[in-house]
Amino acid sequence: MKTHFGLIGKHLSHSFSKEIHEHFTNSNYDLIELDEISQFMSDKKFTGVNVTIPYKKDVIPFLDELSEEARAIGVVNTILNSKGKLIGYNTDYFGLKSLCNYHNISVDNKKVLILGNGSTARTIEYYCNQNNTNKITVAARHPRANQIHLNALNTLDYDIIFNATPVGMYPNILAHLPIKFSNNTPVSVVVDVIYNPLKSTLLREAEQYNVKTVNGLYMLVMQAIKAIEIFHNKTISLDHINHYYKRLLKSRYNIVLIGMPMSGKSLYGKKLSNLINMKLVDIDQEIEKKESIPVPKIFEDKGENYFRNIESKVVLHYAKEHNYVISCGGGVITSVQNIDALRSNGIVIFIDTPLSMLKRFCSKNRPLLKDNKSLEILYNKRYNTYINAADIVIKKDTLDVDIILNKMVVALNEYTSIEWT
């Protein structure tokens, strides 16, 4: 059977390419997982395909012609079958160039560190060489000549870091590179070509030191656009592309609600998900489904450590998902790993309910709350952790649900217009 358009690779379940290509064309786009490529390439039963890991170099011997970039880089990610003649392109180069332009990143006269030495790293290195980079250092787990080992990065004396390794990519969103930022780091920008999750561990760590961070989603979109132009001999306006990109980005992040018990996370989660048309998950309810008993009973029968362990597993599962409003239990923030996972795709909102208001609703049915004194102790113990974990803080200064909900929507719009574009 002939495939007109598609993506070939080994593991493609996380790919966004089908969605992007089918949005801009009227053609079906297939995800084709292959254990080897020789038969597929020899048969030539396709009009145009994109190529991803691990075949970006393996396809070259089957091609009749290479574009200038593909020949210079030695990597192909797009193949056009022109009446039986296979022509290879590197549209990743175009995607990277577009990403740097969109985010105002200049490598001119900069010291650049590239993490990884695979196909994408070669594209980044070529781009830097084409744009007057002062110095390029390549670090990898298996360094070649003139490269260094990742573990040798004791100091980060660079202006820009590009990550071209898959470390931190879905589903292993908590995996991290041996990179240590510091308060006086000269690094101004970190670009991670990973786009799932939206914020890799590397980007989350860099953010803590006020470093500008950029994920690879715009690069993915723009390399696809270039491939579409090659496949279909058409041009697409930048306004159309950028509008689509922002819509795609919005569909990929979660909204995470944290706060003290009785701060209204479940209520606001339900209303917010309905209002902005996102799926809803309540972590405590998911735990109760999993254990088939109420949360207080889990604490009573099996203890808090058992509960926290189950809670972390449920949190990690939903942290990898997209387009959810995630209502968290009050103690989620007691685990650094939980917050790290939730931030990988999520905007974290702290519903900051004053202690005086919480005392009016203090419930003895909460596992860790016996009375107002225990509530006060828990509040004081956790408050700064909530603040530090939050991207947005919503002061709950009224019991009017609509007013608080409106505050959330306004704050989200402001945040996403600045941080997630």
- Catalytically annotated residues: 56
Please state whether beta strands 189-192 and 111-115 pair in parallel, antiparallel, or not at all (unpaired).
unpaired
CA distance 343 to 390: 9
Q: Measuring CA to CA, which residue among 335, 349, 340 is closest to residue 394? A: 349
Cα 376 to chain centroid distance, Å, stands at: 37
* 361 C-beta neighbours (distance < 10 Å), count: 14
CA distance 131 to 90: 17
Q: Measuring CA to CA, which residue among 320, 291, 327 is closest to residue 306? A: 291
Cα 338 to chain centroid distance, Å, stands at: 16
In the structure encoding, which two tokens stand for residue 163, read together?
């990550």
CA distance 198 to 245: 13
Work out the angle between the directed axes of helices 401-419 and 265-275 (0-180°, nearest 10): 60
